[in-house]
Structure 1
Amino acid sequence: MRQSLHLMLFLCSFVFVRGKPKTCTTKHLDGLEAVLKDYIDNKLNDKFAALKHYFDLKIDSLKSHFDEKVDSMKIDSDVQHDLLKKQLSETRNALSECACEKQRQRGLVYHMEGSRGRYSLTCDEAKALCESRGHKLATKAQLLAAYELGLQMCRTGWLEGCEASYPIQMPRSACGRRGINDFISSSGKADVFCAVD
């Protein structure tokens, strides 16, 4: 009610200042109020439409920018994924080749026992057994190289120079310490470590 009164007074003074009808009746005010209300509604609707259009454009621009960034990140992620996958494959192949090479190198030194069983060979018999296979007694350096590639054998074998040793990776009470262990048998017999030429 108070707002209506204020509006009527405003409209009345507006009409009076313009010099249009000298009297300010309610009838005149009602018509003028309706015209002004329509005018204000139209202006507000135009402003809201302009603001809505402006914000729609901004939102579309931001969405487009965001989508471009997401696509760019996805492409970067896919490229990185492919690169990492390739590097992993190359590393796996290199490790496999390395493992195969270690296995081959380790296989250059091998353990054998005599036909009469465990610890039945003298040094000369051990040498003859290796030579019968086209190989020779392994040197201590060859046994060490095979040990470094993972060879473990809790069995004493003859080496070149009639030394008897065995390689241990994981120490155990019956097998001794980690490394190349030397062994002197009271019987003077052992198995043999042969080396491929």
Structure 2
Amino acid sequence: MLDNITCARDRLLETYFWVLGIFFEPHNSRARKILTKYWTILTVLDDMYDVYGTYEECKILTDAFQRWDEKAVDDLPIILRDFYQKFVSTINEFQDEVEPSEKYRVSYLIQEIQKLVVCYLQELEWYAKGQVPNFNERKKPAIDGNAGAIVVCILLLGFDEVVSEEAINWFMSLPDVVMASMEICRYNDEAASYEVMICSNFQF
């Protein structure tokens, strides 16, 4: 799926086994397939903003994601073209893997991806400019950029007709229970990252 992207981490098998722990029932094969594909390319997206891309390159990439058009590839740096094209085409192909009555779910996923990359870019901008945001400044990008809503969104995309559009609309409105769950996940992640950072800097 990412053969032409040499910098990509090859985590397909690892990802599949992780997904298998969520969707182990035989009838959830479609959900397993969709989530495995998505998580594989999401890993590379995260690396592009965290490791490989400069702020200027990622800003162009973010603009391209807001357009969500494969033709936007012409405006991207060469290093990002194959990745962007493969990412967009993979998500668009999900529409072929769901029933006609379920295609609307893909649009929700695209909206969440567009929000995610904006958060990634904000964090990269702070890093590039040497800025340290306060708690309130960091809170929204940190929570939106935690991919929590996207994970649930992609899970709902893979399910069959048992998930109604009303249920998805309820989740995407981010009621208090959903927002609280996202905050807990993010704060736990931040605490774990801080502990790793402290341990890695500890001198014996």
Smaller-chain TM-score bracket:
under 0.3
**Greater RCO between the two (CA within 8 Å, min separation 6)?**
2
Higher strand share: 1
Higher helix share: 2
Larger Rg computed on CA atoms = 1
